[in-house]
A and B are shown apart, each in its own frame.
Chain A
Amino acid sequence: MAAIHLDDVSVDFVLYQGSARSLKKTLLRSSTSGVLKHDAHHRVTVKALSNFSLTLEHGDRVGLIGGNGAGKTTLLRVLAGVYEPTAGRIRVEGRVTPLFDLGLGLDMDASGYDNIRMRAAYFGIDADEVERKMDDIAAFTELGDYLNLPVRTYSAGMTLRLAFAAATSVDPEILLMDEWLAVSDTKFLEKAQRRAEGFVNRSSIMVVASHVEEVLKRLCNKVLWLERGSVQRFGPVEEVLAAYHAHVAAAGSVGGGS
């Protein structure tokens, strides 16, 4: 059974590029809400997550909300194991499928079939499993013989279908998504949604960062509201969304949220 435990996790980024001072100014001027401070070597650091604790269990479908720089992407990358926390501990049980970038590893010169295989290889899926599912994936793309041609000959819509099919071909235990997959083609959209929802339903735990409330309401049973790298509120969808709206409205009336 899949499970995720974060215990007092902190993630600090040290900013190296450019002069720290001017960079600090730039960052403060923008609406970034991460916490800037100086470390022992007088470098500017951004605390992207601070003392973050969270437990997710089987059946949790979590939507992440929060302003820009609240730490949504960082949290997803910590869950994916890309960023190992600078302090604290994370334990993830179950196969993690991160879907942050639909086009990850997409090679325009390779054939559609090769791209599907490659994508699976990145996620550590063994070759036999991919071959078993190949017919299903191929059917979903509706690309037919095009799958033997290099991806560069595809239209944008076809490329999207391929990427989507390849990305959702594995059975996820823990599914992480940054922004709900924006799909444009309307006929494809319905089909993609069905597949994506099937994909989501097969997962044991899902975490998705999205600004689209309709998506959160339809897919999630919990919402995690992040602010400045910590949990502002975590609970049932309607409740947290209501609190979030109240907060945004209040901040708006005070002026600019600063």
Chain B
Amino acid sequence: MPCLRFRKQSADVYDSGDRGQPERAWEDLLDGGRRWRLWSTLGWHDIRKRYRRSVLGPFWLTLSMAVMVASLGLIYGTLFRLDLENYLPFLAIGLATWTFIASFLNEGCTSFIDLEPLIKNVRIPMSLHILRVLWRNLIIYAHNIVIFAGVAVVFGIWPGIGGILLAFAGLGLLLVNASWIMLLCGMICTRFRDVPPIVASVIQLLFFVTPVMWKPELLGDRRYLMVLNPFYHLIEAIRAPLLGQLPHWENWAFGLLFAVAGWALTFAVFARFRKRIAYWL
């Protein structure tokens, strides 16, 4: 019975003083997750809106990604002296995953700013806006990873059920990290409007220092340059199992560490500044 009463209360009563800010921040995150029907609808809606009246729709992205993988694969495969059978699958996963990372970083920064009319008009959990943006980028990622499936069929690569499950676990790890990064960047960028361009240039830099185009082995003795890059671990946790290898234990260890530390920091910031977000807009 008490449980029932609490649920009814949380639906229809809004009291700014009945609990502390950390509880309120936690509730915001839970509410955001609970209203998955809204954010998934809105995320789909964003995609449909972007590609309405185009024949191929989001498959335009698939097509442009295919062209990119093919041309970069030929050139860099030749430069690095790698055979295509080995390099193309590697590149297809890496590029698709990197595109996902770059877009959630970019759009995470501007999510609150872009959704200002909504935030200023209706009380909706802040986390819901983040989930909406994450979801629409995940849908685009799904369209891009199709290239890898094509490449895999051509070269007869089959990661096995275990490999696919492990890759999905890796995707989960990436999403847990993506959500805190987007929430944190969203808050910072709403408060400090000159941060989004900085993030955009950092993303460009990250693309070159992360093994997306080049193979991690090429670093040789200077592997440490890569080990400190969390995006290497997150990509590797998805890429390695799909290519039929086990990810290094370091990939998961660093990925988990990044997730725990990141969420701890983000939650502290979110608890402190959640209610200021609407004021900053």
Contact = CB atoms under 8 A, between A and B. Distances in A.
B12 A82 contact: no
Interface in B121-165: 121-124
Given A82-B119, A122-B124, A107 B45 contact: yes
B45 A118 contact: yes
Contact of B118 (A80, A122, A124): A122
Contacts of A109: 48-49, 52-53
Interface stretch (A63-71, A95-103, A194-202): A95-103
29 contacts: A7-B17, A77-B120, A80-B123, A81-B123, A82-B120, A83-B279, A84-B278, A85-B16, A89-B15, A89-B16, A89-B17, A90-B15, A90-B16, A90-B17, A91-B15, A91-B17, A95-B12, A96-B14, A98-B121, A104-B121, A105-B117, A109-B52, A110-B48, A110-B49, A118-B41, A118-B45, A121-B41, A122-B124, A123-B122
Contacts of B16: 84-85, 89-91
A59 B42 CA distance: 35
B17 A82 contact: no
A50 B12 CA distance: 26
A65 B36 CA distance: 39
Contacts of A77: 120, 278
Contacts of A142: none
Interface in B18-63: 18, 35, 37-38, 41-42, 45, 48-49, 52-53
B1 interface: no
Contacts of A13: 279
A82 B123 CA distance: 5
Interface in A9-66: 13-14, 16
B277 to A, nearest CB: 10
Nearest to A122: B122
A93 interface: yes
A158 interface: no
A175 B12 CA distance: 14
Contact of B279 (A14, A92, A107): A14
A83 B41 CA distance: 26
A133 to B, nearest CB: 18
Contacts of A83: 278-279
A93 B37 contact: no
A100 B17 CA distance: 25
A85 B37 CA distance: 29
A82 B41 contact: no
A183 interface: no
A82 B15 contact: no
Nearest to A81: B123
A110 B35 CA distance: 22
Contact of A104 (B48, B117, B275): B117
B35 A101 contact: no
B211 to A, nearest CB: 39
A105 B118 CA distance: 7
B13 interface: yes
Contact of A82 (B53, B121, B280): B121
A94 interface: yes
A85 B122 CA distance: 16
Given A82-B278, A84-B275, A91 B37 contact: no
B45 A82 contact: no
Contacts of A91: 13-18
A249 interface: no
Nearest to A99: B121
Contacts of B35: 124
A168 to B, nearest CB: 15
B187 to A, nearest CB: 14
A89 B121 CA distance: 20
A89 B14 CA distance: 10
Contacts of A84: 16, 275, 278
Contacts of A101: 117, 121
Contacts of A96: 14, 123
Contacts of A110: 45, 48-49
A93 B17 contact: no
A127 interface: yes
B31 to A, nearest CB: 10
Query: Which 9 pairs, one residue from A and one from B, show the smallest C-beta to C-beta distance?
Result: A89-B17, A81-B123, A84-B275, A91-B15, A92-B14, A90-B16, A109-B52, A81-B14, A93-B13
Interface in A104-133: 104-105, 107, 109-110, 118, 121-124, 127
A16 B190 CA distance: 11
A122 to B, nearest CB: 5
Nearest to B120: A82
Given A81-B14, A91-B15, A100 B121 contact: yes
A94 B15 CA distance: 11
Contacts of B119: 82
A95 B13 CA distance: 8
A232 B121 CA distance: 26
